[in-house]
Amino acid sequence: MSKGKIRIAVFPVAGRGTRFFPVTKVSPKEMLPIVDKPLIQYAVEEAIAAGAKKLIFITGNSQDVLKSHFENNLELEKALIQSGKESLLSLVKEIIPSDIKCVYINQKKPLGLGHAVLCAQEAVGNEPFFVHLADDLISGDVPCLVQMRSHFEMHKVSIVGVEHIDLSESEKYGIVGTEKNNGVLQVTKIIEKPLPKDAPSNLAVVGRYILKPEIFSKLAKTSKGVGNEIQLTDGISSLIQEQPVHALPFDGIRYDCGSKLGYLRATIEYGIKHPDVGSRLSEYIQRLK
Ligand code: UTP
């Protein structure tokens, strides 16, 4: 491992996506488009920007469609050339640069996010790694994982990305209790989906993590928790008994694209910024008011 660098990103994409039924009955929610790119493509771009060289996808029934999206399709490329549409080639060719390795691992049953991360153990080995949940789309000047990597390079500890939420929404998130230590937030408590009255704060973990490999032995011992699933939150709760974990409030806007409203917000806001359709979409929205 190159010193202090994080080279591996894990993308758990094996959830059922029940909040988006029926569209996610067959298609994975990570293939939902925000304007013209699927969520998972934004995720991969963010991880590569943060230095990831090996991408591990933990898939359910989504494996084939995901793989096909990222692999080159020579037949399609040939057809574009033959029909004089070379300008479109860059959109479909080498979506993932050729020096980046992709690994696909099947999570046979959606036993929970903690279990999905545990499925990556062998492929990750003994190094720190990113975990990126593609349905949390985050926009900002500096990609969220880049901000987290900078923090990791200084402190060399596991990190959870957090944001302030309205306490009434605590049951949707893992919530952390923290202690300020030399200007950083050290996690002292982490609880999955607590009632507002039991939440240690209004700081919610969103879908970005840097985890040290010791998390795997914790997850292997984690039994089913909230929702009868093996929760990553519970694994992190064991980890903080042994080593520091930091919470990092990142700069950026998060869209919960696993929910219909969050997804529509992202679609509109990314649409308004899109070079092809942005100005016409803005005009259209003005007319609706
Ligand atoms: P969610 O909590 O959003 O669950 O998972 P979900 O099943 O995808 O969606 P809903 O709540 O039923 O609508 C958080 C992340 O963990 C992954 C999901 O794909 C998502 O990226 N996940 C969850 C797995 O990979 N495996 C699991 O067993 C559970």
In a domain, residue 3? The reply is: no
DSSP 8-41: EEEEEE----GGGTTGGGTS-GGG-EETTEEHHH
Determine whether the shortest distance from the Cβ of 114 to ligand 1 is under 6 A: no
Residue 2 lies in a domain: no
Evaluate if residue 89 carries a pLDDT over 60. Answer: yes
Query: Residue 225 domain-assigned?
Result: yes
Q: What mean pLDDT is predicted for residues 87-116?
A: 96
CATH number where 59 lies: 3.90.550.10
- Res 83: pLDDT: 96
Atom of ligand 1 nearest to the CA of 230: 28
How far apart (Å, rounded) are the C-alpha atoms in residues 100 and 82?
29
**Mean pLDDT over residues 49-66, rounded?**
93
Mean pLDDT, the chain, whole residue set? 96
Instruction: Determine the atom of ligand 1 nearest the C-alpha atom of 19.
Output: 13
User: What are the tokens at 91?
Assistant: 């959109």
Task: Kindly give the distance from the C-alpha atom of residue 117 to the centroid of ligand 1, in angstroms, as a whole number.
Answer: 11
**pTM, full prediction:** 0.97
pLDDT of residue 22: 95
Q: Rounded CA gap, 236 and 217, in Å?
A: 11
Q: At what angle do helices 63-70 and 39-49 cross, to 10 degrees?
A: 60
Residue 63 pLDDT: 79
Tell me, yes or no, whether 177 lies in a domain: yes
What is the reported pLDDT for 3?
A: 57
Q: Where are the beta strands (DSSP E) in the chain?
A: 8-13, 33-34, 37-38, 54-59, 101-106, 129-132, 136-139, 158-164, 174-181, 184-192, 203-211, 245-249, 253-256
Residue 1 pLDDT exceeds 70: no
User: Which comes out higher in pLDDT, residue 1 or 226?
Assistant: 226
Mean pLDDT (whole number) for 227-253: 98
In a domain, 282, yes or no: yes
SS3 of 226-258: the string is HHHCCCHHHHHHHHCCCCCEEEEECCCEEEECC
Judged against a pLDDT cut of 90, whether residue 249 lies above it is answered with: yes
Tell me, yes or no, whether 1 lies in a domain: no
63 CB less than 6 Å from ligand 1? no
For the cut 90, the answer to whether the pLDDT of residue 61 exceeds it is: no
Distance from residue 273's CA to the centre of ligand 1 (Å): 28
Do the domain assignments include residue 193? Answer: yes
Q: How many domains does the chain have?
A: 1
pLDDT digits (tens, 9 = 90+) for 108-165: 999 999 999 999 999 999 999 999 999 999 999 999 999 999 999 999 999 999 999 9
Task: Look at residue 62 in the predicted model and tell me its pLDDT.
Answer: 73
Domain of 49, in residue numbers: 8-288
91 located within any domain: yes
Q: With bands split at pLDDT 50, 70 and 90, how would you rate the model's confidence at 241?
A: very high
Place of tokens 């997850």: 219
User: Does residue 2 surpass a pLDDT of 90?
Assistant: no
